[in-house]
Structure 1
Amino acid sequence: MSEPLSLAGRAVHELLDRNAVRLARELVRGFVADIPFYRQLPDEEITGDIVRITEINLRLVARLFRERRLPTTTELAPLRASAARRAQEGVPLEAVLAAYHNGAARIWDHVLDGCGPGELDDAIGAGRLMLGYIGVVTGAVCAAYQAERESMVSQEQHARHAAITALLSGEPHATAGIRLAARYLVLSVTLGPHADERSAAVAGRRKLHRIRDAVQGFSAEPVLSLLESGGGLVLVPDLDWCEAAELVAAMGKAARVEVRAAGEVAAPEGVANAARLTQEVLDVVHLFRHPPGLYRLADVLLEYQLTRPSEAVAGLATLLDPLTDNPDLLQTLTVYLETGLDRRRTAELLHVHPNTVDYRLRRAASLTGLDPVDPAQLQSIGAALAARRVTNRPGRPPRPAS
């Protein structure tokens, strides 16, 4: 067994053991003076648990100098338990580590006090022991702190998942561990693929992480979500509709992808119905190829109604059947309506002369009896085109390249 380390004519371990209680209080006063977060801790914790674990550290350092060996896993157990408690209390890890380094520096000054030039070798040996001690201790502390934080996050995620499951089941009273908001912005969303997702799976996870961060920035309370790479459901506590469009834009900007969302504001007992409705609205948005952005039922009333089972939908779809064998006429009619009756823009998109557009529109009118130049008949033509898309009628034209 190695001889105990001595400096300035005294056994270092005896110096630390004999003064451990006083030194622990001294070190803790130093933590409070030098580390801002420690000044926020309750006096009871500072004078109790913090002083106690500091004294345990001092006695471990004394053993280090007495036996010239690093502490064992068993001996580090109190330090790991203390780190876990700091994690539970929300003390930042950097503050915990700062206390260990601050304490080590003060112990080192105490140990070297009175050391002479002839004791350089012993001082170097003591320094190596202290560096080894700090390495082992901070490694154990970090591992214990991180493990506790991960456990807490896992429990929080489980509670959030249970809460959103209860809300979607129409049983908000069954939530536990999550305080429900008075109302939620219910968003059904689809997320476009990021360019990097084609070559790296991690890009999809990074996209979701950015999306969640962007959404959480709009609420002081935990956001509930069921999101995958392609989209899902988001419940944002206490967010007004006037801020919803800004939130959707922020999601797209953060992840650099196209975002389509359908939303409604609902109380907890109405979340289940709102989630069903917003998904139906989002389906309509995609079916009718609306651009990225935020939608609610009022924005797609006609299209939504046309997607509901009805004899009228089938009847509307047949109004343009005479154009089935004339895809150019059907495509021209479609683009003409989509461009807001702009014949020049229609011609540009179809790569034809405006006179050709005029001819095709007249031909379509002669075949169907519905004249797109007549304002009274435009509504029927628009409804008929929408009905064909809903019923997947043959001859549905492709969208032209812009």
Structure 2
Amino acid sequence: MRTAPTDEATKDDLHGRIARIRRSIPRMARAVIDRYIAASPLYTQTAVPEHLHRESAHTVRSMLEVCLRSVTDESIDVSDTMRENIERGTERVAEGLPLREYMRCWQAGFDVLAEELERELGTDHGLFWFAFRRAHTTFDRILREVVSAYEIHTHDLIAAQDRNHTPIIDALLRGDEWVFDDPDSIPAEPNIMLLHIDDTPAERSGDRNARSLAATRKVRAIRAHLARAVPGLWLIDVRPRHARIVMHPPIGALDPLAVDLARVSGAPVTIAIENATSITDLPRAGTTAAEVLDIAIRSGRTGTVSRMTDVALAHHFAHPSASLPVLLDRCASLRSRPDLVHTLRVYMASNLDRRATADTLTVHPNTVDNRLNRVRELTGQDVHITTELLTLAVAVSAATDDPETEADHPQ
């Protein structure tokens, strides 16, 4: 085996040549992805997923960089340097990518690297084999980390999918009794979490098969991330547009969850959560969580985790009562004007400051005045009169900025 070069001129020569190869890493990564797509049977009849030219190319670049750095730097921490890339790569597990296909892409990456090493160092046989073996040793360490993470992620996914929890959740939310195989697993004070999941761009384009595949991948990605990121997960039911999770009281903050789910699935996610005092309290908790989720969607709280404490005032305004239809009727003309609803919502969130409202909406303050005057003309309600402002607040809480969503929530 060729040992590390000891001659200073040889060392400098090796460092210079490796530096030249590192400058070619973006080109090499593109070549790897192109080679993988051409060799894989997965992409002969279907569109190439966007992640191959984005996340996967980034992972390949990182792998090439680490392998090349290791040629001249034995102290590099492979596990720490590649951790984020390996964790991101396990999202392919959630999409149903077989391990052999996952390995095919990694191997294509090293093949391209080996070819580049030979092109640059091939005239010095000993130097080439020294660099090749150093890079290959690092690549082997990366592969061990990759396979280990893949297997762990697969086990998590299987654990989350090993039973169909839909009928159990249905029964618990109806208040029906259910006999559990393991009574000790039942949370003493369960929490219910409801998700509203938007479509990904792929679900809104292409043919029916492509849309179906995109929806399936989205569901798998969300299930896998929930299984990994939510300690105390008990029951789970994930569909393309919504999800229901029953779990033990959460450990730590759940605030980043909606953002993380949107990242792994490619779709905006809105979350509501409510705690139950016992398993028999789940019907009440489920109803409350559904009401919180509805208000969160209407008020634009996408990307957050909402509890009743976050939307209590809006819930009070929009909660069914004998007076609610009367108040809504006074503002009925706003239903066809989501632009005015949005302006009112921003105006109230800005503490009735017209300039702050204009800054948020990126319009002139006079435009805000004109819209508020238009609200008064349409409804007879003046934002400068307290009782009429509160009436408009009720309408805003029950309305939406999106006319299509409004059609789904008739008043």
Which protein shows a greater Rg? 1
Q: Using structure 1 for the length normalisation, give the TM-score.
A: 0.48
